């Protein structure tokens, strides 16, 4: 049986039907989930192993037979650990059927098929009793059912149910406890991902608050508490000068997973007093958690960023992100306070922390007795609904705004009829304020329309700006004040995932040629795709095979990921690279340039290929890809989604923080040996029909005298270089 699925093509904007292999979806889901990187997390694995070892020993001392329940077994790893530690019986359950299948095969391959009773269901559907799923209640529960927010995967319900139905009264739990830490900070930089600031005329300097406001922010947007969704990120990569702590890290929730010492509530609000460490605006709360793996509290697994990590305690300022374990499956998070307020150093404040079954939120009480809303904040204004965090960052990015305003300043005259193609195009309102004759905006959604109407009203340009529907092919020329003289798009659409997906502007323009005057200005006018060979310090772990994990064979799981990656049509996936350190292993390579000025999209594919020399020594394990958008023919009118500083071979790359770059990982890392000649071959094909961008990368090495070559490429199935393993001596900045 084949599965049909309809997907939105982010480049062409068309809905397309695709035939998926029967098992396509789940494999993709497994591959895209954090499974591989979680299993590469040696600290996590080791500490679970130690926790299981200690719990089994404790039960033995008590003279009890050890009956283990592993909730959410995944690959079966924790169950196999329990077997090796000498458990008498092990029951494992897994709610996600494809993973349960993987566990079944993996357990068998490791000789644990008979020893572990596998139930392919959610723990809350398990029944205990003679002849049921489990004969008896378990006296040891091992579970790893946590996410970045700790409870987001439903841990509370899982543990409450287990206590009531699946465990003995005095069962041991690995982990036994979890603590959530919160730290209040002041941070204008973090706020860029949440609050939209007025657009100001560039003053030559850093803008500053005194610069004249061009586009004012509607009150509804100013007063909005912001998006409800958690902002998860790699906090250790956030520059320290971006924020000032106003509170120390405060333990705000303690979860006793057994529910014996303290009930495990579905809803809870706690209050923690602190004295502000500094003057500043209370903008946000940084959050992370730790769990204790043993009943003595000696084995601690912490997700703290390096500057608050227990492993870095006492080392002063000598620690960096390289000194704490890297993981992507558990990051840290930022919660924006619903109404930022100014506080002075020493002021006593109360952090009000709440959670329900799946999420956390925070508020601040400034004075004793002040009424504080304990409800979960949610966007009221719409702007946080239609825009991703990345996009909100773009709306506040001084570098982008400077280019857009310069472009518009040159472009806008009293005769300009501007068509702004794109979602939530605040720059359209800017053009009206700059004196354009008329501006037409296109909005795809009701919420988007509401947001733009608020911007138009606040900026009093009702008579100069008209909102059209997204599909303007039906709009006729007679509906406009005059033919369009300029078409402007910010290179970002709500459907854009990869940097070049904003090519959609080219396709959108095509649907409105009947509205254009004789020689319309088209911005952007050109796209250049770039690639950089890099060493990804950590990111390779999301795809690299495990081979073994704590002595257990992981071939079955490795095969699952490998197959899923082969089936995936995109060999390149989006990641915000500022969060994932990458060392440059060459200089940026231009791959392909597309001229976006022709009003017809070409019929046939557009390709480009080439080869560049890679300087040894070093190791290349991937390519980073991005797009530069030339807005006009003027040299500096470029919006980049790539490096924001000059790329230096051997140094970490500084990336645009307001876009996701394209990540390509080589099947195996390629060592650039000194004394050999290394060549990167690249080929890029753009298929205008369906908007796909295809990339091939391949590295060959040869001694200058001989012609023999070794290579790693996207197509080679048997890489000549050493397969992935944690490269010794290559940790950090190799």
Catalytic residues: 144, 153
Near ligand SAH by CB under 6 A, which window of 75-83, 273-281, 457-465, 608-616? 75-83
Nearest residue to 641 (alpha-carbon basis) of 530, 538, 522? 530
The residue among 72 and 581 lying less far from ligand SAH, judged by its C-beta, is 72
Quick one: which of 55, 69, 95, 531 contacts ligand SAH (CB under 6 A)? 95
Of residues 29-68, those binding ligand SAH (CB under 6 A): 38-39
Nearest residue to 696 (alpha-carbon basis) of 709, 679, 680? 680
Q: Give the span between the Cα atoms of 107 and 75, in whole angstroms.
A: 8
Nearest distance from C-beta of residue 247 to Zn ion, angstroms: 26
**291 DSSP β-pair partners:** 178, 301
Q: Give the span between the Cα atoms of 199 and 297, in whole angstroms.
A: 52
Nearest distance from C-beta of residue 70 to ligand SAH, angstroms: 6
Of residues 140-199, those binding ligand SAH (CB under 6 A): 144-145, 153-154, 158
Q: Give the span between the Cα atoms of 355 and 400, in whole angstroms.
A: 37
Residue 148, class by beta-carbon neighbours within 10 Å (0-12 exposed, 13-18 middle, 19+ buried)? buried
Nearest residue to 128 (alpha-carbon basis) of 101, 96, 98, 163? 163
Q: In this structure, are residues 669 and 621 in contact, taking their beta carbons and an 8 Å threshold? A: yes
- The answer to whether 641 contacts ligand SAH (rule: CB under 6 A) is no
The number of beta carbons lying within 10 Å of the beta carbon of residue 111 is 12
Residue 165 tokens read as: 């139905």
- The answer to whether 626 contacts ligand SAH (rule: CB under 6 A) is no
Near ligand SAH by CB under 6 A, which window of 87-95, 188-196, 535-543, 603-611? 87-95
The residue among 154 and 245 lying less far from ligand SAH, judged by its C-beta, is 154
Q: In this structure, are residues 286 and 235 in contact, taking their beta carbons and an 8 Å threshold? A: yes
The residue among 84 and 214 lying less far from ligand SAH, judged by its C-beta, is 84
- The answer to whether 72 contacts ligand SAH (rule: CB under 6 A) is yes
Nearest distance from C-beta of residue 580 to ligand SAH, angstroms: 21
The residue among 152 and 249 lying less far from ligand SAH, judged by its C-beta, is 152
Residues lying near Zn ion in the complex (CB under 5 A) = 224, 379, 381, 383-384
Nearest distance from C-beta of residue 154 to ligand SAH, angstroms: 6
Q: In this structure, are residues 652 and 581 in contact, taking their beta carbons and an 8 Å threshold? A: yes
Q: In this structure, are residues 106 and 75 in contact, taking their beta carbons and an 8 Å threshold? A: yes
Nearest distance from C-beta of residue 354 to Zn ion, angstroms: 19
For residue 78, the partner it binds in ligand SAH, Zn ion, none, with Cβ less than 5 to 8 A by kind, is ligand SAH
For residue 224, the partner it binds in ligand SAH, Zn ion, none, with Cβ less than 5 to 8 A by kind, is Zn ion
Burial 183-211 (b: 16+ CB within 10 A, else e): bbbbbeebbbbbbbbbbbebeeeebeeeb
For residue 153, the partner it binds in ligand SAH, Zn ion, none, with Cβ less than 5 to 8 A by kind, is ligand SAH
- Which residue's C-beta sits nearest to ligand SAH? 72
Nearest distance from C-beta of residue 651 to ligand SAH, angstroms: 35
**681 DSSP β-pair partners:** 611, 698
Q: In this structure, are residues 381 and 451 in contact, taking their beta carbons and an 8 Å threshold? A: yes
Q: What 3-state class would DSSP assign to 116? A: strand
For residue 99, the partner it binds in ligand SAH, Zn ion, none, with Cβ less than 5 to 8 A by kind, is ligand SAH
Q: Give the span between the Cα atoms of 626 and 640, in whole angstroms.
A: 8
Near ligand SAH by CB under 6 A, which window of 69-77, 288-296, 475-483, 661-669? 69-77
- ω into residue 175 within 30 of 0, thus cis? yes
Residue in the structure block whose two tokens are 């695709």: 18
- The answer to whether 107 contacts ligand SAH (rule: CB under 6 A) is no
Of residues 547-586, those binding ligand SAH (CB under 6 A): none
For residue 141, the partner it binds in Zn ion, ligand SAH, none, with Cβ less than 5 to 8 A by kind, is none
Interface size with ligand SAH, residues (CB under 6 A):
22
For residue 123, the partner it binds in Zn ion, ligand SAH, none, with Cβ less than 5 to 8 A by kind, is ligand SAH
- The answer to whether 13 contacts ligand SAH (rule: CB under 6 A) is no
Residue 587 tokens read as: 């200089």
- ω into residue 567 within 30 of 0, thus cis? no
Nearest distance from C-beta of residue 135 to ligand SAH, angstroms: 19
For residue 74, the partner it binds in Zn ion, ligand SAH, none, with Cβ less than 5 to 8 A by kind, is ligand SAH
Q: Give the span between the Cα atoms of 488 and 205, in whole angstroms.
A: 26
The residue among 71 and 502 lying less far from ligand SAH, judged by its C-beta, is 71
For residue 55, the partner it binds in ligand SAH, Zn ion, none, with Cβ less than 5 to 8 A by kind, is none
Q: In this structure, are residues 303 and 327 in contact, taking their beta carbons and an 8 Å threshold? A: yes
- The answer to whether 103 contacts ligand SAH (rule: CB under 6 A) is no
Nearest distance from C-beta of residue 455 to Zn ion, angstroms: 13
Which string of DSSP letters, residue by residue, matches 635-669?
TT-EEESSBSS---TTSBPPB-TTSPEEEEEEEEE
- The answer to whether 301 contacts ligand SAH (rule: CB under 6 A) is no
Quick one: which of 84, 99, 166, 527 contacts ligand SAH (CB under 6 A)? 99
Q: Which residues form the interface with ligand SAH (CB under 6 A)?
A: 38-39, 71-75, 77-78, 93-96, 99, 122-124, 144-145, 153-154, 158
């Amino acid at each position: 049986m084949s599965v049909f699925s309809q997907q939105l093509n982010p480049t062409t904007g068309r809905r397309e039907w695709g035939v998926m292999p029967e098992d396509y979806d789940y494999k993709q889901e497994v591959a895209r989930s954090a499974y591989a990187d979680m299993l590469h997390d040696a600290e996590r694995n080791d500490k679970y192993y130690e926790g299981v070892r200690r719990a089994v020993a404790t039960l033995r001392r008590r003279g009890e037979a050890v009956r283990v329940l592993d909730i959410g077994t995944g690959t079966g790893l924790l169950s196999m650990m329990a077997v090796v530690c000498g458990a008498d019986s092990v029951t494992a359950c897994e709610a996600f059927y494809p993973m349960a299948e993987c566990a079944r095969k993996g357990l068998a391959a490791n000789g644990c098929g008979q020893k572990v009773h596998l139930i392919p269901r959610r723990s809350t559907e398990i029944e205990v009793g003679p002849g049921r799923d489990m004969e008896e209640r378990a006296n040891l529960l091992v579970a790893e059912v946590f996410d970045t927010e700790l409870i987001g995967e439903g841990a509370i319900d899982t543990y409450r149910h287990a206590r009531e139905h699946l465990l003995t009264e005095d069962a041991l739990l690995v982990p036994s406890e979890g603590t959530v830490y919160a730290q209040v900070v002041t941070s204008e930089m973090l706020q860029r991902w949440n609050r939209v600031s007025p657009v100001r005329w560039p003053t030559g300097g850093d803008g500053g608050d005194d610069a004249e406001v061009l586009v004012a922010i509607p009150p509804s947007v100013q007063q909005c508490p912001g998006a409800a969704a958690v902002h998860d990120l790699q906090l250790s990569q956030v520059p320290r000068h971006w924020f000032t702590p106003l509170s120390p890290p405060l333990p705000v929730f303690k979860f006793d997973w057994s529910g014996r010492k303290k009930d495990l509530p579905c809803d809870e609000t706690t209050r923690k007093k602190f004295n502000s460490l500094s003057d500043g605006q209370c903008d946000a709360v940084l959050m992370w958690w730790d769990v204790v793996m043993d009943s003595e509290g000696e084995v601690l697994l912490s997700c703290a960023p390096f500057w608050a990590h227990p492993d870095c305690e006492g080392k002063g300022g000598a620690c960096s992100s390289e000194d704490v374990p890297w993981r992507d499956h558990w990051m840290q998070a930022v919660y924006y306070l619903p109404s930022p307020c100014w506080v002075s150093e020493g002021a006593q404040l109360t952090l009000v922390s709440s959670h329900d079954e799946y999420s956390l939120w925070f508020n601040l009480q400034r004075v004793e007795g002040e009424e504080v809303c304990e409800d979960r904040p949610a966007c009221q204004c719409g702007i946080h609904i239609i825009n991703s965090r990345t996009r909100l960052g773009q709306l506040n990015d001084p570098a982008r705004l400077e280019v857009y305003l310069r472009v518009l300043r040159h472009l806008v005259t009293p005769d300009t009829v501007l068509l702004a193609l794109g979602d939530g195009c605040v720059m359209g309102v800017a053009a009206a304020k700059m004196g354009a004759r008329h501006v037409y905006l296109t909005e795809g959604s009701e919420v988007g329309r509401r947001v733009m109407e608020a911007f138009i009203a606040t900026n009093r340009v009702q008579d100069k700006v008209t909102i059209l529907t997204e599909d303007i092919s039906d709009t006729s020329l007679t509906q406009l004040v005059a033919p369009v003289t300029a078409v402007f798009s910010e290179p970002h659409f709500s459907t854009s995932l990869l940097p070049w997906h904003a090519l959609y502007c080219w396709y959108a323009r095509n649907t409105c040629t009947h509205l254009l005057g004789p020689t319309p200005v088209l911005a952007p006018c050109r796209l250049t795709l770039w690639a950089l060979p890099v060493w990804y310090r950590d990111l390779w772990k999301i795809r690299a095979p495990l081979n073994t994990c704590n002595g257990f064979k992981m071939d079955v799981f490795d095969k699952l990921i490998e197959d899923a990656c082969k089936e995936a049509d995109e060999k390149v996936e989006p990641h915000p690279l500022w969060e994932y350190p990458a060392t440059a292993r060459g200089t940026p390579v231009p791959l392909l340039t597309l001229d976006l000025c022709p009003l017809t999209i070409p019929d046939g594919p557009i390709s480009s290929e080439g080869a560049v020399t890679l300087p040894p020594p070093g190791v290349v394990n991937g390519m980073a890809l991005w797009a530069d958008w030339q807005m006009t023919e003027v040299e500096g009118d470029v919006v980049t989604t790539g490096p924001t500083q000059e790329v230096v071979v051997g140094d970490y790359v500084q990336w645009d923080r307001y876009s996701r770059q394209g990540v390509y990982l080589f099947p195996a890392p390629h060592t650039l040996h000194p004394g050999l000649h290394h060549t990167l071959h690249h080929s890029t094909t753009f298929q205008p029909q369906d908007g796909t961008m295809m990339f091939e990368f391949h590295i060959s090495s040869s001694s200058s005298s001989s012609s023999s070559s070794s290579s790693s490429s996207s197509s080679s199935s048997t890489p000549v270089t050493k397969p992935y393993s944690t490269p010794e001596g290559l940790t950090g900045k190799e």
